[in-house]
Amino acid sequence: MLGTRWLAFCGLFWLAAVAIAPAASVREKPATCPYCAFAFQGLEVVAEDFKAGPPDPDLFVRPMSGAPREFFTVWTCPKCYFSALATDYAQALTEDDKKRLAPQLKELRWLRPQGMAEEPTSQIRIPAWFKHKAMYLCYVALGKPQWILGNAALRGCWVARVYHDPIDRDRALAQTYAEMTKAFEQRHQKEIGEQRAFALYRLHLFHGRLFLDDLRNGRFTEEEKPLAAFIGACFLREGGEHGSAVGPLNEVLSHPRASSVLKELASSELFLQKVEEEFQRLALQHFEKALADNEIPDEERRAFCTYLVGELHRRLGRPADAAAWFDKALANANTPKSIQDWAKAQRQLVSGGK
C-alpha cells in the first residue's frame, strides 16, 4: 500500500484532489538492476487512470487526481541505489559506465534522507525527490547530454513541489486543520466557486494567497495563526511559487503558539523548498548549456528550452533574466503558438523587472 510520507495533506480539501493514488493506477513490475544485478519490484503506471489537467508554467503535467506519474517512473535499486528512468533500466551498462558510477553510488548511500531504510523494501518507501536526485547524479556520472540532465533536474522540481509530510500524524492538529479549512471554504464560497475552471496550480496559488490575506486581516484566532501561515505557505509552494512560501514558514518556526509538530512540518516544507530550488538551479544550468552548445537539433525542443530557461529564472527570483529569455522565445518565429502564449503570460508577470 502506498504510505509513509505522503502528499495527501495539501489535497485541496475543496477538490479532494491530490490523494494517494488508487492501487489500480500503479502495479509492480519485476526489475533487475543493470549495475549490481539485484532483482526487485519496480513500479509501472497504469496510464489510463491518470487524468491530466492543464500543465504548470514549467510544463509539469499534474493529474487531476492521484499522484503524478513522476513518483513511479524512476526506479532506485534498493541494494546499490543506481537510479534511472524505468525505461533506461533495460539498457546494459558497460564496464566503463560502472567504473564511472561506482564513486557516485557510494556517496548516494550517505545522502539518503532521514527515515529511509538502508535497503528499502519497496519503491514507494523511497521519497520521489530522492529518487530524482539519485537519477540526476547517476546521469551526470554517466556523462548524459545536458538536455537530458536538465530534464532529470526539472522532474525533480516537480516532485519536490507536490511532496508534503502528512499533517494527520498529529490528531489534534489535523482536527484544527479540518475545522479551519471548512470555515475558510464557507467564508470564501463565492470566490472559490469562480475559480473552478482554473488550472490546478492556479487554484493552489489562489487559495494560498487568500489564506495569507485572511491571516493579515485578522480572520484567525491567536491559536490558529501559526497553522494558517503554514497552510497558506503549503499552497503557495504546491502552486509553484516556493519563494513566497519561505516567509510564512519562517513565521511558523518563530511563532510562540506553534506546536513542536507544526514546527517540524514547517521545517520539512522549508527543506523541500530548498530541494526544489536546487533542482531549478541545476535544470537552468543544464538547459542554458544545452542551448549554448547547440546540443538540441530539434527546433521545437529548442523553443521549449528557451522558454523554460526564462521560467526557471523567474521562479528563482531573477525577473530581468526571465524577461530577456521570454523575449528570445517570442522573437523566434519557430516558437510554437502554445509556448508563445506561455511566454507572453509569464513575460507579463515580470514586466517590471527590466
In angstroms, the CA 264 to CA 36 distance is 37
Question: Which of 80, 134, 154, 157 is in the footprint of Zn ion by CB under 5 A?
Answer: 80
User: What residues contact 58, with CB distance under 8 A and at least 6 apart?
Assistant: 154, 157, 158, 240, 308, 311, 312, 315
Q: How many residues bind Zn ion (CB under 5 A)?
A: 8
Pick between residue 35 and residue 139 the one whose CB is nearest to Zn ion.
35
Question: Which of 17, 77, 205, 296 is in the footprint of Zn ion by CB under 5 A?
Answer: 77
Q: Which of residues 169-188 bind Zn ion (CB under 5 A)?
A: none
Pick between residue 78 and residue 226 the one whose CB is nearest to Zn ion.
78
Pick between residue 38 and residue 271 the one whose CB is nearest to Zn ion.
38
In total, the chain counts a number of residues equal to 354
The reply on whether position 31 binds Zn ion by CB under 5 A is: no
CB 197 → Zn ion: shortest distance, Å?
Answer: 46
The reply on whether position 33 binds Zn ion by CB under 5 A is: yes
The reply on whether position 98 binds Zn ion by CB under 5 A is: no
Question: Which of 3, 23, 24, 36 is in the footprint of Zn ion by CB under 5 A?
Answer: 36
CB 34 → Zn ion: shortest distance, Å?
Answer: 8
Pick between residue 77 and residue 308 the one whose CB is nearest to Zn ion.
77
The reply on whether position 220 binds Zn ion by CB under 5 A is: no
The reply on whether position 138 binds Zn ion by CB under 5 A is: no
Contacts 24+ apart (CB under 8 A), 88-94: 89/31, 89/32, 89/33, 89/34, 89/42, 90/34, 91/34, 92/34, 93/34, 93/35
CB 313 → Zn ion: shortest distance, Å?
Answer: 37
The reply on whether position 79 binds Zn ion by CB under 5 A is: yes
The string of DSSP codes covering 86-155 is GGGTTSPPPHHHHHHHHHHHHHHHHHPPTT--SS-SSGGGS-HHHHHHHHHHHHHHTT--HHHHHHHHHH
> Which DSSP state fits 65?
S
CB 26 → Zn ion: shortest distance, Å?
Answer: 21
In angstroms, the CA 339 to CA 230 distance is 34
Candidates 266, 318, 220, 235; CA nearest to 15 is: 235
Helix or strand or coil: residue 340?
Answer: helix
The reply on whether position 101 binds Zn ion by CB under 5 A is: no
Pick between residue 33 and residue 308 the one whose CB is nearest to Zn ion.
33
Q: Which residues bind Zn ion (CB under 5 A)?
A: 33, 35-36, 38, 77, 79-80, 82
